[in-house]
Structure 1
Amino acid sequence: MNEWFQGLYRSLTSSPLQHWLETLPAAISQWQREQLHGEFSKWVKLIDKLPATEPTSIQLDPEVRFGSADDIDDYTQRQIKGLLMQFQPWRKGPFFIHDVHIDTEWRSDWKWDRVAPHISPLTQRRVLDVGCGSGYHMWRMLAQDPSLVVGADPSQLFLIQFQAIKRFNPDPRIHLVPLGIEQLPELRGFDTVFSMGVLYHRRSPIDFLHQLKAQLRPGGELVLETLVVEGDEQTVFMPGERYAQMRNVWYLPSTAALTVWMARVGFKNIRVVDVDQTSVQEQRSTEWMTGQSLQDFLDPTDPNKTIEGYPAPLRAVLIANT
Structure 2
Amino acid sequence: MTQDEIRRRVEALGEWFHDMDLGGVRTAPNHFLWGYPEAKFKHFSHVVPADLTGKSVLDIGCNAGFYSLEMKRRGAARVLGIDSDDRYLAQARLASEVTGLEAEFRNLSVYEVGALGERFDLVIFMGVLYHLRHPLLALDLIHEHVAKDLLLFQSMQRGATEAMTPEGDYPFTETAHFDEPAYPKLHFIEHRYSNDPTNWWAPNAAAAEAMLRSAGFAILEHPEQEVYLCRRVEAPWGAGAAYPVKGPRA
Q: How far apart in 2 are the matches of 1:119 and 1:317?
A: 12
- Name the CA shift for 1:164/1:120 in 2 (closer, same or farther; >3 Å): closer
Partner of 1:25: none
Q: How far apart in 2 are the matches of 1:143 and 1:164?
A: 16
Number of residue pairs the alignment of both structures matches: 204
Deviations 1:131-166 (A, max 9, x none): 000101211221111111110012111121122223
Partner of 1:134: 64
Residue identity opposite 1:215 in structure 2 = V
TM score, norm. by length of structure 1: 0.59
Q: Is the 8 A contact 2:218 2:230 kept in 1?
A: yes
Q: How far apart in 2 are the matches of 1:248 and 1:227?
A: 13
Aligned pair partner of 2:93 in 163, 166, 188:
163
Deviations 1:179-224 (A, max 9, x none): 112223264520000011100011111101112212112xx01111
Is 2:156 the partner of 1:227? yes
Is 2:184 the partner of 1:239? no
Partner of 2:146: 215
Residue identity opposite 2:7 in structure 1 = K
Residue correspondence of structure 1 range 247-262 to structure 2 within 5 A: 247-262=197-212
Is 2:32 the partner of 1:103? no
Q: How far apart in 1 are the matches of 2:231 and 2:152?
A: 9
What secondary structure sits across from 2:208 in the alignment? Answer: helix
Is 2:112 the partner of 1:183? yes
What secondary structure sits across from 1:228 in the alignment? Answer: coil
Question: Which runs of 5 or more structure 2 residues have no equivalent in the other structure?
Answer: 161-181, 233-250
Aligned pair partner of 1:195 in 107, 125, 139:
125
Q: How far apart in 2 are the matches of 1:80 and 1:266?
A: 43
Partner of 1:115: 44
Q: How far apart in 1 are the matches of 2:186 and 2:219?
A: 22
What secondary structure sits across from 2:67 in the alignment? Answer: helix
Question: Which runs of 5 or more structure 1 residues have no equivalent in the other structure?
Answer: 1-52, 54-75, 276-315
Residue identity opposite 1:273 in structure 2 = P
Q: How far apart in 1 are the matches of 2:139 and 2:220?
A: 13
- Name the CA shift for 1:100/1:187 in 2 (closer, same or farther; >3 Å): same
Aligned pair partner of 2:54 in 99, 124, 131:
124
Residue identity opposite 1:113 in structure 2 = K
Identity across aligned pairs (percent)? Answer: 21
Partner of 2:227: 317
Deviations 1:2-52 (A, max 9, x none): xxxxxxxxxxxxxxxxxxxxxxxxxxxxxxxxxxxxxxxxxxxxxxxxxxx
